[in-house]
Amino acid sequence: MAFNNLKYSTFDFKIDGGKTSVWADFEERVIDLNSSRETEAVRRFLSRFDLTFEAVDLDYTVAFYREDEIIATGSIAGEVFRNIAVAAHLQGEGLTAAVISHLMREAAGKGVYHYFVYTKPDTAVLFGSLGFNEIARVEPHVVLLEAGLGSIRDYCAELSTQAENLPAGPRAALVVNCNPFTLGHKAVIAKAAQENAAAIVMVVSTERSIFPFATRLRLVREGLAEYDNILLLPGGKYVISAATFPGYFTKGTATIDAQTRLDATVFARHIAPALKVTKRYVGEEPYCPVTRAYNQALNDILPQYGIAVKVMPRITFNGEAISASQVRELIRSEDWDRIKHLVPDTTYRYLVSEEAKPVIDKIKGSNARH
């Protein structure tokens, strides 16, 4: 068989000293994510709960079966527990705890001890009883919770330490992907550095972009070397990450509104106070609808927390706004003369180096958005 079956005649599970729930005659099956038959069964079950299921986005899925019918399921994608659902007639019997326990054991076996869960606001309390702590919510769409080793509190404490030696006065923040770093990015960051005592630039850490994170971080650092009031930080797992904002890296816009607002809320509630920033700078977005939606979410949410949002016009070359996607397109057509006008010298030198060759080849063979 393509999956592992674990058969039980009974199953006992106790939550925080509460009552023990018992079910008879069910199986746990590890779903083969390459099997259309198995994944379609999970997809049909999840459709009852208005949940989608894309096996390509997942690392692991388990389903609990009774008499060959799914009664509960859950999946793992990185550190995120997803698609957790229990048959309506068995809700309240402890099956959610059983699914979570199974996923934690599987994650621990792969060295993962920190977990995120998305859920709807009306079920957040259930995950709270399982040891998950709320990070942020966007009514009526979603709540993000976490459990395990590490927390947003620890993350923010580290941010505070990193920023404690910045010059006194107003601070601004920017979150950038820089895939790669362009003169457009540099112009927005320079403006923030000129208008504030300090600017804090957070580079998205998630490895879903063509340029690796380490390269993107380095190019930003090299491109901003002349500024002495800029602090450069990795975004980590709480800034436009696969946990807080998976829609940034995936196709489809059905959940973009909830996800952009969730990421903006995490920044406003936790990150901005830790860094003591009162402004967030963003570049005007003429091309990407996801980034446009994100800018709108920032405009809607951050002022509620006393954080101003400044949208900076994109600088242009030959009448066209400079963007990283434009640079990647020019790499595909090998228009190096034009690229030279769109990126700092440090970025250009990297792009034409032997070191960049694997990335250049990847760009030529891809049409990825980010």
pLDDT at 120: 86
Buried b (16+ CB within 10 A) or exposed e, 19-52: eebebeebbbbbbbbeeeebbebbbebbeeeebe
How far apart, in Å, are the Cα atoms of 37 and each of 3, 32, 315? 12, 9, 51
Question: Does residue 233 register a pLDDT over 60?
Answer: yes
Tell me how far apart the alpha carbons of residues 203 and 32 are, in angstroms, rounded to a whole number: 35
Tell me how far apart the alpha carbons of residues 340 and 156 are, in angstroms, rounded to a whole number: 38
Tokens of 60: 């692991």
Tokens of 39: 């994944």
Complete domains list, the chain, with CATH: 5-150 (3.40.630.30), 157-364 (3.40.50.620)
pLDDT band, very low/low/confident/very high, at 247 (cuts 50, 70, 90)? low
Mean pLDDT computed over 126-151 = 94
pLDDT band, very low/low/confident/very high, at 253 (cuts 50, 70, 90)? low
Tell me how far apart the alpha carbons of residues 217 and 274 are, in angstroms, rounded to a whole number: 21
Question: Does residue 6 register a pLDDT over 70?
Answer: no
How far apart, in Å, are the Cα atoms of 119 and each of 47, 123, 329? 15, 6, 38
pLDDT digits (tens, 9 = 90+) for 76-100: 999 999 999 999 999 988 899 999 9
pLDDT digits (tens, 9 = 90+) for 22-70: 445 678 999 999 999 999 999 999 999 988 899 998 999 999 999 899 9
Mean pLDDT of the chain: 90
How far apart, in Å, are the Cα atoms of 256 and each of 187, 262, 346? 27, 10, 34
- Nearest one of 147, 123, 156, 154 to 137, comparing CA atoms: 123
